[in-house]
Amino acid sequence: VRSADPAVIFLNVAYFINFGRNVGSAGDPAIDFGNIKLGNTFEYSIGLILSLQERLSMNFALNQRITGKTNQNGTSLPDSNLNALSFNIGATYVIPPRTAVDFVVGIGRSEVAPDVSILIRMPVMFKFGKK
């Protein structure tokens, strides 16, 4: 995070490791898909948060998630890798003393990303202890 008053520039990076497991059904007839290992995922998000007033801010972010191929019994499955890219525009309004409301609209920029996504959240801060 880098502050350049009244804006904040941010970068988030994440890596998800998926472990393989045996997948099947116990029905009649039983189906055994073998050992399935989903591809690992690398994700980043870069953006800007702009303060409009003391309690209101807007944010703009580019988010990309790249997932490797899925393997079945050690063999890569065709067309199982993903590259989801989206552009997010949102706003946050702070409700004193301990609450905020976030509203974000995501616009898919790649074939596998959702066309539009909407996120509404209400983070609440709790005080623990005597301070």
Closest CA to 113 of 82, 91, 71: 82
- Concatenated DSSP letters of 64-98: EEEE---EETTEEPTT--EEEEEEEEEEEEEETTT
Cis omega (within 30 of 0) for bond into 123: no
Write down how long the chain is: 131
What's the confidence (pLDDT) of residue 114? Answer: 95
pLDDT of 4: 62
Question: Mind listing the pLDDT tens digit for each residue in 15-68?
Answer: 999 999 999 877 778 888 899 999 999 999 999 999 998 899 999 999 999 999
Q: Are 8 and 49 in contact (CB under 8 A)?
A: yes
Q: How confident is the model at residue 73 (pLDDT cuts 50, 70, 90)?
A: very high
Looking at per-residue confidence, does 19 or 4 come out higher? 19
Tokens read off for 51? 């303060």
